[in-house]
Amino acid sequence: MTGDFGRLLAVETMKMRRAPVTVICTVIIVLTPGLLAAAAILALRANSTSSFAAKARLLVHGSGWAGYVSTGTQVMAVAVLLCLGFGFSWCFGREFTEGTVAGLFALPMGRGAIALAKCTVLLVWSVLASIASILVLLGVGLALGDLGSQPPRWWLPLGVCLLSACNTFPLAWLATVTRGYLGAVGGLIGLVVATQLVTSFGGGGWFPWAVPGLWAGLGGTDIHIAGSQLVLPVAVALISIVATTVRWRSLELGNA
């Protein structure tokens, strides 16, 4: 890719690829759902009386591929929100915390373009990590065996992953406003707590941060998420990208 935006993408990609934060978060997103879902299935097959097996009974809805994929998808919803949330917070906040933001001024490309390039790279990271996570989930399922002949609903975990990723974009804005990643990480914790509260009061279906988990089945089989509710996280992402880009365009140094 050529042009100023292509150069921005190249630089942001290089920074993301090299960062330990990205590597650790990716490993957790890719491996945790498959391994935890497999562990849950194995605990149920063994008729274990352990506390893990008791929790597995709450997570696993259905049998065969449906139960296994559903379990992995529930783990994905949480893992993606936490890991990408941390990654998004770091990607934007580190420029302030580490003082590297000064080098992003006085450049041919505007700061709005820099924010947009960061969002683009984060989006690509989200999609690639989601796909890898699903491939590992399906691979572990095949290795596990005895899940029946009905093909798995692979699109469900993909959709849940992407919606969870959408819900992390506000943290980019928060990291910019608070000029560091700690404020955004605090915001992430606040979102998790708020999601629990809103869901426990029955409003989770209309709370964007609860939608992916409920769609995955975290709230049990009685809760159904409508198409209009699935749009909410996408709207959150779009609004956040615009807000972050606008905020970066008007960014100043020494005027915190």
Partner 1 sequence: MHDPTAVGGGAGPTERRPGKVLLEARGVRRSLGGDVVLHGVDLAVRSGSIHALVGMNGAGKTTLMRILLGMLSADGGRASLFGVPVGALPAARWREVGQMIETPAVYPELTAQENITAAALLHGMDREGVTDSVRRTAEDLGLERWLDRRGKRLSLGTRQKVALASALVHRPTVLVLDEPSNSLDPSAVVSLREIITGVAERGGAVLVSSHHLDELARLADTVTVLHRGRVVGGLDPRGIDLERAFFDLIYQADQDRPGEAG
Catalog residues that contact partner 1 under the rule CB under 8 A: 4, 7-8, 10-11, 14-15, 18-20, 98-100, 102-109, 252-255
At its nearest, how many Å lie between partner 1 and the CB of residue 98? 6
For partner 1, the closer of residues 18 and 143 by Cβ is 18
What is the tally of helices (H) and strands (E) in the chain? Answer: 10, 0
At its nearest, how many Å lie between partner 1 and the CB of residue 125? 15
- For the chain, what percentages of helix, strand and coil (3-state, to nearest 5) are there? 75, 0, 25
Q: Which residues contact 134 (CB under 8 A, 6 or more apart)?
A: 154, 157, 158, 161
Task: Give the span between the Cα atoms of 65 and 72, in whole angstroms.
Answer: 10
Q: What is the DSSP letter of 149?
A: S
CA-to-CA dists, residue 48 to 43, 44, 54, 61, 102, angstroms: 6, 6, 8, 17, 57
For partner 1, the closer of residues 106 and 143 by Cβ is 106
The count of C-alpha atoms lying within 13 angstroms of the C-alpha of 91, restricted to the half-sphere facing its C-beta, is: 35
Q: What angle do CA 35, 185, 169 make, to 5 degrees?
A: 80
At its nearest, how many Å lie between partner 1 and the CB of residue 23? 10
At its nearest, how many Å lie between partner 1 and the CB of residue 102? 4
For partner 1, the closer of residues 8 and 136 by Cβ is 8
For partner 1, the closer of residues 52 and 105 by Cβ is 105
At its nearest, how many Å lie between partner 1 and the CB of residue 114? 9
For partner 1, the closer of residues 102 and 238 by Cβ is 102
Tokens 């691979």 label which residue? 139
